[in-house]
Amino acid sequence: MGLAPAPSGPASAPETERTGPSHAHWLHVAREAADDLATDAAVRDQAGKAPFDEVSRLREAGLLTLLVPAGLGGGGGDWTTAYAVIREIAAADGAIGQLLGCHYFLSWSAGFLAERPALADRIALRSATEQWCWGGGLARREAPPRLTRTADGQVLDGRQSYPTGVLVADRLAVRAVRSDTGEPVAVVVDPAGLGVVVDGDADTFGQRLAAGGSAEFDAVPVADDDVLGSLSADEDVLTPPAALASPVGRLVSVQLRLGMAEGVLAEAREYSRSARVPWHEAGPAGTPRDLHALTAYGELTVLTRAASALTDQALHAVHTGLARGEELSYEEYAEISVLAAMADAAASRAAQESTARALEIVGARSASARLGFDRFWRNARTQTLYEPVADRLRDVGDYFLNGAHPAFALPV
């Protein structure tokens, strides 16, 4: 999908050890899955059904367990590979790209935040064995549910809305606060468990198949092993390696947006080559020599490739930061976080510009619901509304001008 010559990840990025299939293998699997999703993307978007079938397609392809270590029954892939997979899937179907990206981030965070390595391994093993799809979110948004210790154990109470995965998830990752201390913590919840009610009330105009909705928790029993760890942003709790969860998650959104931009340009290009549609009534009809179309394609290609190049820099920095582990400093984390913010801003502009202007390139026929060009714009606009680019630009500007470290914030 997309613009083939552009790399899916930085060629110079150092590779971490892995024992699973190669990056090339997973990219091939992702492209096959993307081609499958692309065949009926417009029809599925219009139907707007919960994406159980789409999750089954990802599960059958082995993509859900890509980030789980091979020794625990997973695909043994790293984030370089996961990002490339997200981008391929998003080019075909932005909503399913968001669903998969959210799943990767939350399933990885579950192990990353766990205070005991043995607990992280148990969760990863069970997630791989039972082929869990993860949904929910750990971002700080509305008032989070409260985790209260009682004489019989811990219970979770409250309500939270999520843009991704809640309708199809086998496990939810939930941000909660302890009632006694106010400490934010990450909690794993079975959405089919006692006291959990899931509602598909998202009703968004785009990303309809991202399975967003809300979950209500009424005295939901929470075992000690279901509390993964702290989400506190205090520097005495949050180490630089743990803080990398923020830019790692940020680059999920970046790859999603770049996939959308590349996907709409590829589809518009195919339509321009095969259809005889006039750009202007006075101009030549549908010809590849249409100067207006050529200029628009040129501008959008440059915009998307520039965002892709900046993303490669951020990905390389994140990859290096993960490899440094406990040796990572706060200053290094800040530089990585700012690079991710820059890539996020560039990818947001590329996605919004490409999905909007592609409609102009195709012309009046892009209004046809049958063609489904509008889904790219609706999906990109909905996704970027959850992560306003102004927030990222402020982080970049404050770091550039004042040397201020970006605040730790997990992506929505």
Residue at a domain's end among 230, 252, 287: 230
Q: Are residue 131 and residue 142 in the same domain, yes or no?
A: no
Q: Are residue 106 and residue 156 in the same domain, yes or no?
A: no
Q: Are residue 252 and residue 314 in the same domain, yes or no?
A: yes
Tell me if 14 is assigned to some domain: no
Q: Are residue 159 and residue 307 in the same domain, yes or no?
A: no
What is the model's pLDDT at position 114? 80
- Cβ-in-10-Å burial (0-12, 13-18, 19+) of 59 comes to middle
CA dihedral for 330, 332, 336, 339, sign (positive or negative): positive
Phi and psi angles of residue 220, each rounded to the nearest 5 degrees, phi first: -75, 120
Each residue's pLDDT tens digit, 264-282: 999 999 998 886 555 444 4
Residue at a domain's end among 205, 230, 255: 230
Q: Are residue 49 and residue 190 in the same domain, yes or no?
A: no
Q: Are residue 99 and residue 201 in the same domain, yes or no?
A: no
Quick one: what percent of the chain has pLDDT higher than 70? 92
* pLDDT mean across residues, the chain: 91
Q: Count up the domains in the chain and report the number.
A: 3
Residue at a domain's end among 199, 230, 261: 230
Confidence label for 287 from pLDDT (cuts 50, 70 and 90): low
User: Quick one: angle between helices 245-274 and 94-113, nearest 10?
Assistant: 160
Distance CA 217, CA 226 (A): 15
Q: Are residue 379 and residue 262 in the same domain, yes or no?
A: yes
Confidence label for 313 from pLDDT (cuts 50, 70 and 90): very high
Q: Are residue 117 and residue 169 in the same domain, yes or no?
A: no
Tell me the Ramachandran region of residue 125: left when phi exceeds 0, alpha when psi lies from -120 to 50, beta otherwise: alpha
Each residue's pLDDT tens digit, 103-139: 999 999 887 888 788 999 999 999 999 999 999 999 9
Q: Are residue 224 and residue 255 in the same domain, yes or no?
A: no
Confidence label for 383 from pLDDT (cuts 50, 70 and 90): very high
Which structural domain, as residue segments, surrounds residue 151? 136-230
Q: What is the DSSP string of 33-61?
A: HHHHHHTTHHHHHHH----HHHHHHHHHT
CATH of the domain at 184: 2.40.110.10
Say yes or no to pLDDT of 6 above 90. no
Each residue's pLDDT tens digit, 236-255: 678 899 899 999 999 999 99
What is the model's pLDDT at position 275? 67
Q: Are residue 272 and residue 334 in the same domain, yes or no?
A: yes
Tell me if 359 is assigned to some domain: yes
